[in-house]
A and B are shown apart, each in its own frame.
Chain A
């Protein structure tokens, strides 16, 4: 119902947008019907803009997939940081009034190495990765301060080091060509947008939040209709509510302990006239006045008729903040005034004691409540994407930096005071020395926050954990997917579906397929391909433009005018600017200015017709995307423009500049009519999509023909594509990562998508094209298991390399002792022990060494007595310390090879050794594979090639897939991929399976028929076992298969005997500790139910921690062998077997003065 109604309204609206004039609905309807039945126009060939999708690569060249992170960080470094310093520029002293320190400027240098004696101070990100350093640049300030009576100016004082986002404007990679990237050992396809902190790559995920400084009307948890605003300024964040309780309006705020009747609050803000209040809220509309009357009556009943009386009423209820001890308590009314001025709707500025703007704002909130009470449809949808803002790395770091900078200054001030307090200083006090000794606070604060992910800022009551994540380098796609990920601030425990559901407003902004399964489903989202997230734009020019375009200032307007029938209220970033009496014209002119480049491209404007409001937004965190502008039914982008684009004469930014394309944010998008294809352009259409497949994200864009799949399958593939083994980056062999999976022969898919080309998946693929027969074979293929061809595996299908890192530090200790590396120890006859045989004289196994389980690859020795590294206990350097061997040995059942050994120094000047060990694995039984359609399966059997079925042309399968995978999964896209890649393989060309497009099945079938195959994709097949024809035609073709990281070799585990835990003497737990397999709670119950008590006894005691104790039959305590210490006798000692854990429990109970007794009985 609601949607229909809105649709109708929208149509009207857009008609008006297009033509400017305001016509009656009938006229409009008549016009549009007339248009539809106009047969001549329908049959006209629609002029299509060829290759308009080329705008997409042009967009990605300018913006890239992770541009939002980089833009946001650049904005912070170049603009926000300066603002923060400007706002906190002065440090003064309480002691010496003459003293001051002023920051006159701040800037960030280029990333530098910290090594003390380096000639070339530039550093590359890759070196930081390898050496466990932080990729950071110095933060330099210009200061001006007093030294004694003189004023000193210093420039370029380093106050800390700022971690630099890769590929941001301050990164050494900014603007580097591919060759330069290669020289720096960096992969040119790597998206950047992450930090390198202590050698690990850290991503700050995009955080989704509710909009700040916007009125949101909704029913609160008590069922009252309420309008809430989260005000956010640099000083504080606060929530203000206006709610309707029993027909009366109240103002609610955390800092005020009770709900204040709205009229009283208005009076406290200086609006003592009931009439003024009523007009501001209700205008002259009798309907709203009626709704308001109980509120007004309550105001009258309160008898608080003056501002002072109202303030006195509120004062005692205000929790005043930040009162220092020692300062006299302020009168109540001042408290109230303070709270009202600075805390309640804090983002509305109050000039001196002029509360009018704030009154209008609160009145606006009240009006919105009244509107929603009278019409339930006018509440806001909390899940609507236009009401959300995305917080990016730049904003999060800005918060952190602001907090640290303020702390830095307050620490500085305390220290300055401390020094100045001394009665007579030996020397004139120079604050510069103080400044230098605080250098680590900012550096450490930033590094710690990014490396732990804990953002705890007391000022904003912000305590978020898990803001940063380690960049997953499992595959190129997983790294890319991580950069576009958005995490939501909602708690995952709540069982509400609203925030998790797919919102219609997410169209084109967020990927509908890419979300995890399980508890985070729908809360973690991914950006679509062609999106951009805004940064802050200056408000002042927009304000001026608005006034120039005829907006009447709110300060000069009465309530009656504000809510006049022909007036629209104009908001800028959630603040009331004024009214306009010609909203359509205003919006149109505003857009003209924006399209001509007079206003920033990311400023959005839209009309909210329900509430008669024009919203302008220039704040940060709005998602927006480009669309082609359509004028009077004609697309502004023409084939000529695209030709110029292809010829390189135009860039994407030129399209923006020429007003051919513009950015729409979610709110403005919903105020437009966007045609998907040219053929759908109607006279009222305002925009044209650049390309519909951009509504998918980077990860879901890998799926061929996704529009033919059941939607959950695309979601499954989006999750699995990130686990596929393949090429990671061009510098993958130079990287030393903890765990790296590489495919030996990765191939680009036969059926590509345009997205694949755009994100360079064809250059860094993760999978191989296999010949697949869809048939049942051998029975080892039930439940999605796959049958693999042994010959294919011999030839390298699915083969992968696993690289593992092992690090060792060769430390120096404070007492001048140090670790050392030595050659292998020898027996007396000079022979080297077996497990040390590959260790060279330098204590390390050389690259190329084949290591078996248990063999030593690094022989390190540490000085004895220095276990804690403090050096306090060890012998001094004078006495030669004795050494203890700490060999590092290879602990995997399959042999591995030493790939690389790196010796370097870390940040703290300790020697750091990194070993890279390599294993090559061919697929084996139980390894996991998946196609690109959410169809995962494990290898069930590996069959000799001669036993495989084959076609009359001698084509063998690499994989035999069970046909039962299809009916319930409904992955028609996979069937289409089969046919398309078969056709492509025959013809020797790649095919496309792009969403909403791609190679047509008709063409594919034609290729098949032309080459003597059936258009059905089925072939006559001979059984390899019997040599007879198989009883059906077998559907076969090539399919792109991904090998997933879950491999049997990493999980296989069994144990007969093995290590036990020290405390309980029970077998250890877990594969890594060679643990036992637990006979758990439920298994125990089964055995009890079955009555297998002896088996139970064996499993739980004899096979675990049986222990013989001697119990005294008289007192029941555990004694020694044949002696009871309690009874002082050996008369009735009995040996029994109990679990060691049981004995332990008894002793622990005894230690707590509880004496358990064992009562012995004959059986």
Chain B
């Protein structure tokens, strides 16, 4: 969920004009971190897989931002002012519809940039991560005895059960301990940055996991039947 669920994020910024106080790479970094609605991320290719030279509609979305402050005082530029070339990929906005503050301009300052958002995963850069925090728990009753609670007076008072405990039943303490039991239910508490719904993140994450497991399984099967893959270099010890 943290590392491998793909989202869209601004990856390239072309500066036409920047007379603000922020340096180019400083502002580009800020733009990169702006969350973009990525529900349609599956429509896009990774740009490394795309046939185009630099970027194209298949693998990217273009944004423009052109603000000039002409009045005295401070002009606050929000992420909602980024104009997208694709109505499905727009900056995430909060309740007041403005989004993140990108920078502030004073009179006479101007910012004019052209940005390209690409698909990516957070393994490469954290800006592609859809999650802010992922809580994780299994076995809330500690039936499996994976945990050895530290307490001063009593476990029950000092370690209140989490909400997830309602989903499971506590083992009878008098029953014999089943040392073969494995955890089967996992509880995730997902907080996203707005680019994807928490549900979507979990589903996509499981799909990524399935794909990985599938790939592993296929590789193992190939390994067991080397004949099926005749042209594989047998001298390669790393496979």
Contact = CB atoms under 8 A, between A and B. Distances in A.
Interface of A: 733, 744, 790-792, 794-796, 799, 801, 848, 897, 899, 918, 920, 944-946, 950-956, 1012, 1020, 1022, 1028-1029, 1033
B122 interface: yes
Nearest to A947: B3
Interface in B109-161: 122-123, 125-127, 129, 132-137, 146-147, 150, 160
Nearest to B140: A952
A950 B147 contact: no
Contacts, number: 68
A1028 B146 contact: yes
A472 B15 CA distance: 34
A522 to B, nearest CB: 42
B134 A801 contact: no
Given A897-B24, A1028-B146, A950 B125 contact: no
Interface in B1-37: 2-3, 15, 18, 21, 23-26, 29, 33
A899 B133 contact: no
Contacts of A950: 134, 136
Given A952-B137, A954-B189, A1020-B147, A791 B23 contact: no
A791 B147 contact: no
A952 B163 CA distance: 13
B26 A744 contact: yes
B135 A918 contact: no
Of listed B2, B123, B147, B189, residue having the most chain A CB within 10 A: B2
A183 to B, nearest CB: 14
Contacts of A918: 23
B81 interface: no
Contacts of B197: none
B147 A801 contact: no
Contacts of B129: 791, 945
Contact of A794 (B25, B127, B137): B127
A1030 to B, nearest CB: 11
Given A794-B125, A920-B23, A952-B162, 13 more contacts: A744-B26, A791-B126, A795-B126, A801-B26, A897-B24, A944-B3, A944-B123, A945-B3, A945-B126, A946-B2, A952-B135, A1022-B136, A1028-B146
A897 B191 contact: no
B105 to A, nearest CB: 14
Contacts of A791: 2, 122, 126, 129
Interface in B34-64: none
A944 B134 CA distance: 15
A1029 B133 contact: no
Contacts of B125: 794
A475 B60 CA distance: 42
A945 B128 CA distance: 13
B126 A790 contact: yes
Nearest to A789: B126
A157 to B, nearest CB: 45
A897 B15 CA distance: 13
B2 A945 contact: yes
6 contacts: A744-B26, A794-B125, A920-B25, A952-B137, A953-B189, A1029-B147
Contacts of A801: 23, 26
Q: Say which size band chain B's interface belongs to.
A: 20 to 34
A792 B135 CA distance: 18
A848 B135 contact: no
A897 B27 CA distance: 14
Contacts of A954: 132-136, 189, 191
B30 to A, nearest CB: 8
B15 A848 contact: yes
A850 B99 CA distance: 31
A1058 to B, nearest CB: 31
Contacts of B25: 897, 920
A897 B23 contact: yes
A744 to B, nearest CB: 6
Interface of B: 2-3, 15, 18, 21, 23-26, 29, 33, 122-123, 125-127, 129, 132-137, 146-147, 150, 160, 162, 189, 191
Given A945-B122, A946-B3, A796 B29 contact: yes
A920 B21 contact: no
Contact of B18 (A733, A796, A848, A946): A848
Nearest to A1018: B150
A178 to B, nearest CB: 16
A1022 B3 CA distance: 17
Contact of A952 (B136, B160, B191): B136
B24 A848 contact: yes
A744 B21 CA distance: 12
Contacts of B137: 952
A287 B191 CA distance: 89
A746 to B, nearest CB: 13
A791 B3 CA distance: 10
Nearest to A1024: B2
A566 to B, nearest CB: 69
Nearest to B191: A954
Nearest to A1028: B146
B126 to A, nearest CB: 4
A417 B135 CA distance: 93
A801 B126 CA distance: 20
Given A791-B129, A795-B126, A1029-B146, A953 B135 contact: yes
Of listed B15, B126, B189, residue having the most chain A CB within 10 A: B126
A187 to B, nearest CB: 14
Nearest to A1016: B150
8 smallest CB-CB distances across A and B, nearest first, come from A954-B133, A794-B126, A791-B126, A946-B3, A954-B135, A954-B134, A920-B25, A946-B2
Of listed A791, A792, A956, residue having the most chain B CB within 10 A: A791
A954 B24 CA distance: 33
A837 to B, nearest CB: 18
B104 to A, nearest CB: 14
B23 A899 contact: yes
Contacts of A955: 133
Contacts of A795: 33, 126-127
A762 to B, nearest CB: 20
Contacts of B146: 1028-1029
Contacts of B24: 848, 897
Nearest to B186: A1027
Nearest to B19: A847
A637 to B, nearest CB: 42
A1084 B146 CA distance: 58
Contacts of A799: 29
Contacts of B33: 795-796
Nearest to A744: B26
A1060 B48 CA distance: 45
A1028 B146 CA distance: 9
A794 B129 CA distance: 11
A918 B26 CA distance: 11
Contacts of A897: 23-25
A801 B24 CA distance: 12
A799 B189 CA distance: 30
Contacts of B133: 953-956
A733 B147 CA distance: 54
Nearest to B132: A954
Contacts of A920: 23, 25-26, 29
Nearest to A1009: B158
Contacts of B135: 951-954
A37 to B, nearest CB: 41
A791 B15 CA distance: 25
A215 B18 CA distance: 68
A848 B33 CA distance: 22
Of listed B23, B24, B132, B160, residue having the most chain A CB within 10 A: B23
Contacts of A951: 135
A650 to B, nearest CB: 36
A799 B32 CA distance: 15
Contacts of B3: 944-946
A722 to B, nearest CB: 25
